[in-house]
């Protein structure tokens, strides 16, 4: 689906390519820059779910939350004040949350008549509603900030798994992927069983899994790289996500 | 202020406990995985390499028989599209790869081949020609002309298109579809993703007959699962019983038109299942309720395509073209509007249980209308009598307070119908829907109620408020529907 095409990764060379990540394109842009705009839009489209969850947690109805989220994106794309982020070499995740809080505070002060952005909404209602169904988290025990962080972490994983699955699908190995991916979180959905099912040697299954895990790790880092300004932040973010999900 | 309208209790949604790390896995976990374990796995070393594995990770395949894959340019439920170079002819093409699924490959591939070959025989400037159909490792792929402008759904996300442009596009597409129908070929899956715009902005239809590949007779779940969103699917396709005819393509054209006019497809549920249920059980909301710029005739044309009964749609794609072109020339259209009363009774037949509450609602409205008409609730300030020379009336939006979203259609329909009836009374000025639309959201309503008391004192300070609203809001609490 279009929503998940948000981040494009150049994956051939094994190394995480920092020079062209979406967020760095946005940060590096001087003045008007169509490519920066496009990059920011892609990022917003990929990461709307945490933002929307934050707004909902403030007590807004789905419709209001949609309007506010769209309004926020419109504002963001219209006039971005990125200077501060540039100076701090900030991360997209923190930047969006801070801006959103700011935006909501202003919206409340103006007794909220947020105009819908002109033209098509960035995230179609359809997708919001599909996702709304998945508001199945321990919501009443979580603060809005925690919902945001949690959803952000899960969104990262979703993007990566989706991408990985598509690669296998295209290579004609979709069915094998469905089996192998279980091994990413579980040590033993019996290699022997997979080997039997696919008429492979057990050793070949093992190798195939190693390849999959390598690819997964690379894509995960690339995905995170899209949202940070400096390479050293990637591992940091990874650990941050672990702590978010641990508590 | 963190409020409790937020859904569900925590424990109800815990699917299970992760066997590895012991943390709880919630229903929104990515593909059902323990997120924590996924990140922990991800944290592992990148360079770790088993000699025997070889060094190349699984990456985008670049070499594909006679083709070199250059760049991924699109992706959908059915496969991935690449910009590719055909080595033997040294030309750039689009290559669509249909991933191996769980369906009965042999039979489907054979059938798909037949369909695709039939489609390949179509020769029309607005049908994307297929060059070659081949198989590889249980995948099917075919090459076709590369259209540079991208998919219609992507294009409209980038730029709003005017209503006129939308109608012109659909008229062209309908003509193209008519050509295919005359050659005995159905498209079966008309949706924005299958319309490609070229550099001149002309629409090209792609994936003719492809839906066949993923259809399994009589199985909704299978079909929708494979096709992705059923939002553009005709009801007879969704319930899988009836034979699919040209009318399904006319439905598809109507659904795309609906999308272009309103920004959303006719039916959107929270899940595939719910979308199908809405598709089968409810009527679409009138496009002009979602976009006030859409006029009544165009709304009528669009809804005629979306009739549940295939026989009530346009008899051919050509008939649709002709009506669209009449609309473009500002001539009277052929399609007749299904009156609100007819639509209402169709709807009631499907939902007899709430007929009673609807009846009482209608009674309430009748009373309200008479009261307003007699001026009981609506008084003009004497000082402005000269300015407000006519009686005017505003009908505020009705709010659907029932749990059933489908009733929203009824709420809008009632307002629409009252407006159109009132507008026939010559001496009465009816405030337009656009001016009252904003009273739809709760928050606005609250603001409005508060502002009301203030306005008593200050009303008509500026003459401009005249065009906005009547001096006093017309009615008290908004009527509700359902329980
Ligand atoms: Zn775990």
Partners of B28 on chain A (C-beta within 8 Å) are 134-137, 154
Looking at per-residue confidence, does B389 or A209 come out higher? A209
Cα separation, B295 vs B332, in Å, equals 12
Cα separation, A4 vs B292, in Å, equals 31
Q: Tally the domains of chain A.
A: 2
Q: Sorting pLDDT into bands at 50, 70 and 90, what band is B366?
A: very low
Inter-chain CB proximity B13 and A241 less than 8 Å:
no
Same domain, A121 and A161: no
Same domain, B85 and B159: no
The two structure tokens encoding residue B443: 């928050």
What's CA A112's distance to the chain center, in Å? 28
Inter-chain CB proximity A112 and B443 less than 8 Å:
yes
C-alpha distances out from residue B158 to A76, A121, B408, Å: 16, 10, 29
List beta partners, residue B96. Answer: B81, B142
- A140-179, pLDDT tens digit by residue? 567 888 889 998 999 999 889 988 988 888 877 888 888 8
What spacing in Å lies between the alpha carbon of A183 and ligand 1's midpoint?
Answer: 12
3-state secondary structure of B441: coil
What spacing in Å lies between the alpha carbon of A186 and ligand 1's midpoint?
Answer: 8
What percent of chain A clears pLDDT 70, i.e. is strictly above it? 70
Domain encompassing residue B363: 351-382
Q: Can you give the pTM of this predicted structure?
A: 0.45
Instruction: For residue B219, tell me if it sits in a domain.
Output: yes
Same domain, B134 and B159: no
Q: Sorting pLDDT into bands at 50, 70 and 90, what band is B318?
A: very high
Partners of B265 on chain A (C-beta within 8 Å) are 126
Q: Does A137 touch chain B (CB under 8 A)?
A: yes
Same domain, A114 and A142: no
Looking at per-residue confidence, does B240 or B70 come out higher? B70
Instruction: For residue B1, tell me if it sits in a domain.
Output: no
Residue B301 pLDDT > 90, yes or no? yes
**Region for residue B331 given its phi and psi (left: phi exceeds 0; alpha: psi -120 to 50; beta: otherwise):** beta
Q: Sorting pLDDT into bands at 50, 70 and 90, what band is B208?
A: confident
Inter-chain CB proximity B271 and A126 less than 8 Å:
no
Partners of A121 on chain B (C-beta within 8 Å) are 263
Distance from CA of B205 to the nearest CA of A (A): 19
What spacing in Å lies between the alpha carbon of B24 and ligand 1's midpoint?
Answer: 8
B92-96, B272-276, B312-316, B354-358: range with highest mean pLDDT: B312-316
Same domain, B217 and B316: yes
How many beta carbons lie within 10 A of that of residue B403, not counting itself? 8
Mean pLDDT of B433-453: 47
Looking at per-residue confidence, does A137 or B236 come out higher? B236
Instruction: For residue A76, tell me if it sits in a domain.
Output: yes
Give the best residue of B5, B21, B58, B265 to mutate against chain A (max A CB count within 10 A). Answer: B58
* Lowest-pLDDT choice from A121-130, B226-235, B377-386, B413-422: B377-386
Same domain, A62 and A146: no
Q: Does B51 touch chain A (CB under 8 A)?
A: no
Partners of A239 on chain B (C-beta within 8 Å) are 43
Residue A236 pLDDT > 90, yes or no? no
Option in B9, B35, B265 nearest A126 (CB): B265
Cα separation, B134 vs B95, in Å, equals 11
- B4-47, pLDDT tens digit by residue? 333 333 344 555 777 777 777 777 778 878 898 899 888 877 75
Same domain, B247 and B259: yes
- What is the crossing angle of helices B246-262 and B163-182, to 10°? 170
Mean pLDDT of A50-63: 84
Give the best residue of B34, B39, B139, B274 to mutate against chain A (max A CB count within 10 A). Answer: B39
Question: Across the A/B interface, how many CB contacts are shorter than 8 Å?
Answer: 205
At B252 the pLDDT is: 95
Looking at per-residue confidence, does B398 or B78 come out higher? B398
Instruction: For residue A153, tell me if it sits in a domain.
Output: yes
A214-223, B239-248, B354-363, B413-422: range with highest mean pLDDT: A214-223
Cβ within 8 Å of residue B80, ≥6 positions away: A166, A169, A170, B72, B74, B96, B97, B99
* Lowest-pLDDT choice from A25-29, B15-19, B46-50: B46-50
* Burial tier of B453 (Cβ tally within 10 Å: 0-12, 13-18, 19+): exposed
Looking at per-residue confidence, does A194 or B443 come out higher? A194
**B81 to chain A: closest CA residue:** A170
Cα separation, A19 vs A226, in Å, equals 10
Instruction: For residue B3, tell me if it sits in a domain.
Output: no
What percent of chain B clears pLDDT 70, i.e. is strictly above it? 52
In the listed set B99, B119, B146, which residue is the last one of a domain according to the structure?
A: B146
Same domain, B367 and B474: no
Distance from CA of A231 to the nearest CA of B (A): 15
Same domain, A57 and A119: yes
Mean pLDDT of B364-375: 45
Q: Which CATH number do you get for residue B193? A: 1.10.510.10
Mean pLDDT of B405-434: 64
Same domain, B452 and B328: no
- B91-130, pLDDT tens digit by residue? 889 888 765 443 445 555 666 666 667 777 788 889 988 8
Partners of A215 on chain B (C-beta within 8 Å) are 57-59
Partners of B57 on chain A (C-beta within 8 Å) are 14, 211, 214-215, 218
Q: Does A59 touch chain B (CB under 8 A)?
A: yes
Same domain, B272 and B164: yes
Same domain, B194 and B341: yes
Are the CB atoms for A11 and A135 separated by under 8 Å?
Answer: no
Mean pLDDT of A84-88: 66
At B457 the pLDDT is: 33
Distance from CA of A85 to the nearest CA of B (A): 26
Same domain, A191 and A221: yes
Inter-chain CB proximity A120 and B35 less than 8 Å:
no
Nearest to A72 by CA among A46, A100, A94, A44: A100
Counts for chain B of helices (H) and strands (E), in that order:
18, 12
Same domain, B290 and B160: yes
Q: Sorting pLDDT into bands at 50, 70 and 90, what band is A84?
A: low
Are the CB atoms for A45 and A3 separated by under 8 Å?
Answer: yes
Inter-chain CB proximity B33 and A184 less than 8 Å:
yes
Same domain, A106 and A211: no
Which residues of B are known to be catalytic?
Answer: 189
Q: Does B150 touch chain A (CB under 8 A)?
A: no
Instruction: For residue B47, tell me if it sits in a domain.
Output: no
Distance from CA of B376 to the nearest CA of A (A): 31
**A11 to chain B: closest CA residue:** B59
Instruction: For residue A31, tell me if it sits in a domain.
Output: no
Cα separation, B481 vs B472, in Å, equals 24
In the listed set A113, A135, A157, which residue is the last one of a domain according to the structure?
A: A135
Are the CB atoms for B73 and B83 separated by under 8 Å?
Answer: yes
B-contacting residues in A 158-217 (Cβ below 8 Å): 158, 160-161, 166-175, 181, 184-187, 207, 210-217
At B133 the pLDDT is: 79
Cα separation, B215 vs B101, in Å, equals 12
- B151-178, pLDDT tens digit by residue? 888 777 777 789 999 999 999 999 999 9
Q: Does A134 touch chain B (CB under 8 A)?
A: yes
Instruction: For residue A104, tell me if it sits in a domain.
Output: yes
Strands (E), B347-441: 391-393, 428-430
Mean pLDDT of B307-327: 95
Cα separation, B411 vs A119, in Å, equals 25
Domain encompassing residue A181: 138-247
Inter-chain CB proximity A170 and B99 less than 8 Å:
yes
Same domain, A76 and A124: yes
In the listed set B348, B367, B398, which residue is the last one of a domain according to the structure?
A: B348
What is the DSSP secondary-structure string of A38-99?
HHHHHHHHHTHHHHHHHHHHTT--HHHHHHHHHHHHHHHHHS---HHHHHHT--HHHHHHHH
At A129 the pLDDT is: 58
Distance from CA of B50 to the nearest CA of A (A): 8
At B87 the pLDDT is: 87
A-contacting residues in B 223-242 (Cβ below 8 Å): 228-229, 231
In the listed set A135, A159, A174, which residue is the last one of a domain according to the structure?
A: A135
Same domain, A57 and A121: yes
Cα separation, A157 vs A149, in Å, equals 13
Inter-chain CB proximity A125 and B30 less than 8 Å:
no
Instruction: For residue A18, tell me if it sits in a domain.
Output: no
B-contacting residues in A 106-125 (Cβ below 8 Å): 111-113, 118-122, 124-125
Looking at per-residue confidence, does B102 or B144 come out higher? B144
Same domain, A128 and A142: no
Cα separation, A225 vs A113, in Å, equals 36
Cα separation, B474 vs A18, in Å, equals 61
Instruction: For residue B230, tell me if it sits in a domain.
Output: yes
In the listed set B114, B146, B178, which residue is the last one of a domain according to the structure?
A: B146
B-contacting residues in A 4-43 (Cβ below 8 Å): 5, 11-12, 14
What is the DSSP secondary-structure string of B96-161?
EEE---SS-HHHHHHHHHHHHHHHHT---TTBPPEEEEEEETTEEEEEEPPPTT-BHHHHHHHS--
Same domain, B329 and B229: yes
In the listed set A135, A154, A172, which residue is the last one of a domain according to the structure?
A: A135
At B324 the pLDDT is: 96
The two structure tokens encoding residue A99: 């801006």
At B460 the pLDDT is: 29
Partners of B191 on chain A (C-beta within 8 Å) are none
Option in A112, A139, A245 nearest B39 (CB): A245
Instruction: For residue A13, tell me if it sits in a domain.
Output: no
Mean pLDDT of B298-309: 94
């Amino acid at each position: 689906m279009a929503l998940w095409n948000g981040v494009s990764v150049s994956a051939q060379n094994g190394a995480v390519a920092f020079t062209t990540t979406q967020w760095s394109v946005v940060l590096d842009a001087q003045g008007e820059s169509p490519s920066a705009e496009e990059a920011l839009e892609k990022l917003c489209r990929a990461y709307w779910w945490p933002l929307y969850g934050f707004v909902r947690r403030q007590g807004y109805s789905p419709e209001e939350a949609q309007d506010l989220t769209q309004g926020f994106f419109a504002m963001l794309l219209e006039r971005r004040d990125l200077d501060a982020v540039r100076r701090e070499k900030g991360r997209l995740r923190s930047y969006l949350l801070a801006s959103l809080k700011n935006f909501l505070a202003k919206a409340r002060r103006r007794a909220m008549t947020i105009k819908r952005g002109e033209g098509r909404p960035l995230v179609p209602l359809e997708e919001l509603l599909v996702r709304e169904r998945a508001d199945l988290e321990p919501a009443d025990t979580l603060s809005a900030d925690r919902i945001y962080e949690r959803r952000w972490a899960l969104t990262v994983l979703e993007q990566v798994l989706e991408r990985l699955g598509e690669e296998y699908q295209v290579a004609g190995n979709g069915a094998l992927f469905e089996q192998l991916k279980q091994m990413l979180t579980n040590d033993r959905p019996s290699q022997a069983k997979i080997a039997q099912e696919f008429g492979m040697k057990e050793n070949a299954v093992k190798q195939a899994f190693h390849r999959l895990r390598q690819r997964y790790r690379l894509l995960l880092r690339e995905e995170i790289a899209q949202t940070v300004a400096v390479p050293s932040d990637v591992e940091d973010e990874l650990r941050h996500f672990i702590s978010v999900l641990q508590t | 202020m963190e409020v409790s309208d937020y859904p569900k209790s925590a424990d109800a949604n815990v699917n299970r406990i992760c066997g590895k790390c012991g943390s709880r896995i919630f229903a929104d976990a990515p593909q059902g995985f323990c997120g924590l374990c996924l990140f922990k796995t991800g944290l592992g070393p990148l360079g770790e390499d088993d000699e025997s594995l070889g060094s190349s990770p699984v990456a985008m395949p670049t070499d594909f028989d006679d083709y070199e894959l250059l760049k991924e340019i699109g992706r959908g439920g059915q496969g991935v599209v690449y910009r590719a170079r055909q080595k033997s002819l040294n030309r750039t093409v689009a290559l669509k790869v249909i991933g191996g699924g769980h369906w009965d490959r042999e039979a489907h591939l054979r059938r798909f081949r037949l369909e695709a070959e039939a489609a390949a025989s179509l020769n029309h400037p607005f049908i994307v020609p297929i060059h070659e159909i081949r198989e590889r490792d249980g995948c099917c792929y075919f090459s076709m002309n590369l259209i540079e402008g991208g998919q219609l759904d992507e294009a409209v996300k980038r730029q709003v298109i005017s209503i006129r442009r939308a109608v012109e596009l659909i008229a062209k597409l309908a003509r193209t579809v008519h050509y295919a129908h005359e050659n005995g070929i159905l498209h079966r899956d008309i949706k924005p993703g299958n319309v490609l715009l070229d550099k001149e902005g002309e629409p090209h239809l792609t994936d003719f007959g492809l839906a066949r590949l993923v259809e399994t007779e009589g199985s909704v779940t299978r079909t929708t699962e494979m096709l992705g969103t059923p939002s553009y699917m005709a009801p007879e396709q969704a319930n899988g019983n009836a034979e699919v005819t040209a009318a399904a393509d006319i439905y598809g054209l109507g659904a795309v038109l609906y999308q272009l006019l309103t920004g959303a497809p006719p039916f959107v549920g929270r899940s595939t299942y719910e979308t199908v249920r809405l598709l089968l059980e409810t009527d679409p909301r009138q496009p002009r309720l979602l976009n006030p710029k859409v006029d009544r005739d165009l709304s009528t044309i669009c809804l005629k395509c979306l009739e549940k009964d295939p026989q009530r749609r346009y008899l051919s794609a050509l008939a649709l073209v002709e009506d669209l072109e009449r609309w473009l020339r500002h001539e009277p259209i052929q399609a007749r509007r299904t009156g609100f009363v007819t639509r209402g009774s169709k709807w009631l037949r499907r939902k007899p249980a709430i007929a009673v509450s609807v009846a009482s609602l209608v009674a309430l409205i009748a009373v309200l209308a008479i009261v307003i008409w007699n001026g009981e609730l609506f008084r003009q300030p004497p000082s402005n009598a000269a300015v407000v020379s006519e009686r005017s009336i505003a009908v505020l939006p009705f709010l659907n307070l029932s749990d059933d979203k489908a009733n929203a259609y009824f709420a809008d329909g009632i307002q629409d119908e009252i407006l159109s009836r009132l507008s026939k009374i010559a001496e009465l000025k009816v405030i337009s829907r656009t001016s009252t639309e904003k009273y739809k959201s709760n928050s606005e309503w609250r603001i409005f109620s508060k502002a009301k008391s203030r306005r008593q004192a200050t009303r008509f300070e500026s003459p401009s408020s005249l065009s906005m609203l009547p001096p006093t809001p017309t009615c008290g609490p908004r009527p509700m529907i359902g329980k």
